[in-house]
Amino acid sequence: MKPLIGITSSIEKDESAHKVYDHNVRAIVQAGGVPVLLPNLSDEASIDKLVSQIDGLLGSGGYDIDPHYYHEEPHQKLGTVTPRRDEFEYALFKKALELNKPILGICRGMQMLNVAAGGSLYQDIYAQNHGELLKHSQDAPTYYGTHFINISENSLLQDIVKKNQIKVNSRHHQAVKDPADIFIVSGKASDGIIEAIESKEHSFVLGVQWHPENMLDVNDEPSELIFKAFIKACIK
């Protein structure tokens, strides 16, 4: 039976609409799952019900995360925050981790995964890092890989993609700063920015800073393998 995959949804600043990009839906369908779009709820009972029903959780991209969730004041370069989404996803990811549900976090999804587990973020990588960084907000089609990442030996990510280095797309200005204790860093860009994290304590919990769902447009093999591995873990 195909696994039921919950996909987190963005919410606009005026809170008038929930939104999930079709690339996320198509990626789950292509890999063999059944996508369900999750609205940004606030009551604990509803969140518990959602997590108990899904077989896996896909954390999608979106706006910045309120730094109060990792005990910081807002930096002047902090972008748009959406309180309802932050509140919902913080509780959602915590519950999914507690129940050992397979999780794939993409971009913001990776960042919220880290924050919910007790880690922190760079509110703006360009303002809060010394030295010269790569261009992490590409001016290229979304499917196009613009920089390389190096993958850690003996990691889940390496086991999935069967490579030590892959080329990824990039459109973010925040990133993981301090990984939560449960995570190891399994991918980094050449400038030191963390591009992948994974749990030491769960069956399948992986966060990637890039957007593999977009790279499926050009049949990118690592992206296909990531989604297939995620769905396989959800079937178990």
Among all residues, which ones are annotated catalytic? 107, 211, 213
The 3-class secondary structure across the chain, one letter per residue, is CCCEEEEECEECCCCCCEECCHHHHHHHHHHCCEEEEECCCCCHHHHHHHHHHCCEEEECCCCECCHHHHCCCCCCCCCCECHHHHHHHHHHHHHHHHCCCCEEEECHHHHHHHHHCCCCEECCCCCCCCCCCCCCECCCCCCCCCEEEEECCCCHHHHHHCCCEEEECCECCCEECCCCCCEEEEEEECCCCEEEEEECCCCCEEEECCCHHHHHHHCCHHHHHHHHHHHHHHHC
